[in-house]
Each structure stands twice: as structure tokens, then as C-alpha cells.
Amino acid sequence: MKTTPLLRAGLALALALPVAAFAANVPQSFTATYRVLQGGKPLGDATITLKSVGGGQYEYSNQTKGTGGLAAAMGANVSEISRFAWSGMVPSAISYHYQLDSSFKSKTRDVTIQGNTVQVQDTKKSYSYAAVPNMVERNTLPLALGVALAAGRQQVTFPVAVKQAVENQSFEVSGKEKVTVPAGSFDAQRVDRADQAATFSAWYVPTKYPVPVKLAPKDGGDLTLELVSFKGN
């Protein structure tokens, strides 16, 4: 399945300062469940949770368990845990931990922001590069998009901390489409990656949910996530 979480103390304290002013405009906690499909066939279940951990910081986790096909046979499970602080309406990254466990292989990635530097430990390889303000990372990117859409944005660019650099990734609303998922049928806004060809598509109902009702990251091996339930805590 996929990856994502990031950051640390001094920067987190600075980013936490504007939280109170924007608290009413950003989600504080929720649990969303998804079914994961590969090529239209059941592959697993994912649970996404947002919660406050105090000190102006939040934890955003994505726990995916393989329940079908090869993923079930391999006992594959993926955990992505992000720490961030709301900076305005952006979930600014603090730290990210990714872990894949299966009978075939294990893989980890940790991303931590220390001062002005992003430190990455990718299993046995290490990388570092300069941090920029208001970065997000792969796990929290769909949340960042949902909050931007709820604020009325039709186009948005985020600096995204990836393995060896910060990428400026641009997204735009490409139209409205009828989407039917286990959670229901929706008139959704379709969002596509605008700076690369067909690497990301997501369908949002920003008046109801801060996360997509359907997500299709094209670099993930023909994977699709479909919303099953959403509960604001």
C-alpha cells in the first residue's frame, strides 16, 4: 500500500501559535474507514484517524490491513503516522513514520524536521535536505487538499517533503462527477495533479468531509480507496 507522517519541538511550538485563531476552520479529530481495491478487486481495509496529542500538535494515522488477494496471503500491513501542527489552514509537517510488514519483506521510512533540515531514514539509507515553511508530506497531503477545498480553493500548490527533496506539487479541481462508494452517492469535486500527468486523482465532498470519498493515486499500482464511514469525534 502507500506511505506517509513528519516533525519536532522548536518548529512545532512556532507553528502552534496561530492554531487558536483557525481552530474553527480546520478539523480537530475524526475517524474515516476505507476499502482498498486493486484493479477493482478487494485488497484491504484502511482506517484514517486524526486526533490532538497536545501542545498544538496533531497525529494523523493511516492503518491499512491486507484482507484480500496477495496482500492477505503475505499478511501485509502498512502503518503511516504523521505529526503536524496547523499553520493557518495547512497541516505543517513535524514527523512521519511509515512501516510495511509482511511475510515477504519489511520496510520503514522516518522523516523528521530538525531546525531547517529534513532528515530521512529510508530503511538503511539516509538523506537530508533543506526544509521550507509549511511543508506537508505524503500522508497528510489528502487532508491538506480537503481543507483547501472547504475554504473555496480551486487550485493549490503545496511543498511536499518526499524522500530526497521538497517537491512543489500543484492540484486543481477538474470538474464535478457523480461518485458512488460504500458511504453513499455524492456529487463530488474531482481533483487532479496539475503539474504531472495522471499521477493522482481524488474526489471530495468538502461540505461534508475533510478527506476524499474516493482516492486513486496512480503511482500506487492501480489502487483505489473508497470511503466506507466517517465519524467526527
Sign of CA dihedral 19, 17, 111, 195: positive
Q: Model pTM?
A: 0.84
In one-letter notation, the amino acid at residue 144 is A
Rounded Cα distance between 104 and 70, Å, is 11
Strand 136-137, strand 155-161: pairing: parallel
pLDDT for the residue 225: 94
Q: 70 with 102: CB under 8 angstroms? A: no
Could you tell me the residue ranges of all domains in the chain? Answer: 9-232
pLDDT for the residue 104: 66
Q: What is the pLDDT along the chain (233 residues), one digit of tens a residue?
A: 333 333 232 223 223 333 333 444 899 999 999 999 988 888 899 999 999 999 999 999 999 987 765 544 445 789 999 999 999 999 999 999 999 887 667 889 999 998 899 999 998 899 999 999 999 999 999 999 999 999 999 999 999 998 899 999 999 999 999 999 999 999 999 999 998 766 789 999 999 999 999 999 766 567 899 999 999 97
* Nearest alpha-carbon partner for 221 in 36, 33, 4, 75: 36
pLDDT for the residue 200: 84
